[in-house]
Structure 1
Amino acid sequence: MIKNPPNAVSSFGYELIRDHVLSSILGKHEDDILYWAGKELARKFPCKSQEEIVAFFDDASWGTLTIAKETRDGRIFHLTNGPEFLQISNRSFRLEAGFIAEQIQQIQGYLTECYDEKHDKQQLITFTVKWDVKERILNTIPTK
């Protein structure tokens, strides 16, 4: 049996909290609450670039986030982390989606939403981010 370093959180411990305790507590509102919790986390841990968002995912052990496509008003990110990561059929990825939405909103300066989609066969999560260039948000750090 491999032991984790003394201060490390085991993947089993993380899974217990994330996939069993939270879903029991939050019930039918889990997706909505996790999305807004992700947005709040983003405000507490602001990233100044997409590269910092990618690094945050790695640091938080949320998986490997990559930028798959960039458009004028959106982005597509892919999240991977090994086959066991996606075998948890009830795991919600709305926390990550809310985090990405808020970070991109702060970076771009426009009202932003993020939608997640699980792809079991490809063993990845797709996050589709869209912002409305007609809806400017005050107190943001636009990159342009």
Structure 2
Amino acid sequence: MTSFQNKTVPAFGYDLIRDYLLPTILGKHEKEVLYWAGKDLARKFPCTDTQLIISFFQDAGWGFLTLDKEEKDGCIFHLTNDIDLLNIEERSFRLEAGFIAQQIQGIKGCLTECHDEKREKQHQVIFTVKWDKKETIE
């Protein structure tokens, strides 16, 4: 991961790919494909704790992720970023949700899912993560 830390991508180029090109290519399957792509990214860039997940989000330019609450079977993250980024009504945050789900699944060792909820007025995205300790992953 360190080889990517000093490279930057202009926001305009990122937005073109993320908000216009990917939806065109993926069509009606965009959300599902992005979720599984996020899980695949997490397997390629594993994080051993939540602080590393938070750092990855900043390094990737995805925004500022914070762990808001953790319970016995789940947790809640908040994502904030530039107002322009979170005001895009069509943007899907399933890539980030899949990434978080896979990372937490690796950390907890049990089946994990993540759902995203965009809160435009607060300029944030809420990620609700749930895991099932009965469904262990080896």
What is the TM-score with the length of structure 2 in the denominator? 0.94
Please give the residue correspondences for 1:16-95 in structure 2 after superposition, counting only pairs within 5 Å. Answer: 16-95=16-95
2:15 aligned with 1:15, yes or no? yes
How much does 1:87 deviate? 1.5
The one-letter code matched in structure 1 to 2:114 is: C
Structure-2 residue corresponding to 1:103: 103
Structure-1 residue corresponding to 2:119: 119
Q: Secondary structure at the match of 2:70?
A: strand
Cα distance in structure 2, aligned partners of 1:115 and 1:8:
28
Q: Secondary structure at the match of 1:130?
A: strand
Structure having the larger proportion of residues in helix: 2
Q: Secondary structure at the match of 2:41?
A: helix
The one-letter code matched in structure 2 to 1:100 is: I
Q: Secondary structure at the match of 1:52?
A: helix
**Between Structure 1 and Structure 2, how many residues are aligned?**
132
The one-letter code matched in structure 2 to 1:119 is: R
Question: Is the radius of gyration larger for structure 1 or structure 2?
Answer: 1
Cα distance in structure 1, aligned partners of 2:37 and 2:122:
27
Structure-2 residue corresponding to 1:141: none
After TM superposition, what 4+ stretches of structure 1 lie above 4 angstroms from structure 2? none
What is the TM-score with the length of structure 1 in the denominator? 0.90
Q: Secondary structure at the match of 1:97?
A: helix
Identical columns (%):
63
Cα distance in structure 1, aligned partners of 2:62 and 2:86:
12
Question: RMSD between aligned alpha carbons?
Answer: 0.7
Structure-1 residue corresponding to 2:134: 134
* Unaligned runs of at least 5 residues, structure 1: 1-6, 139-144
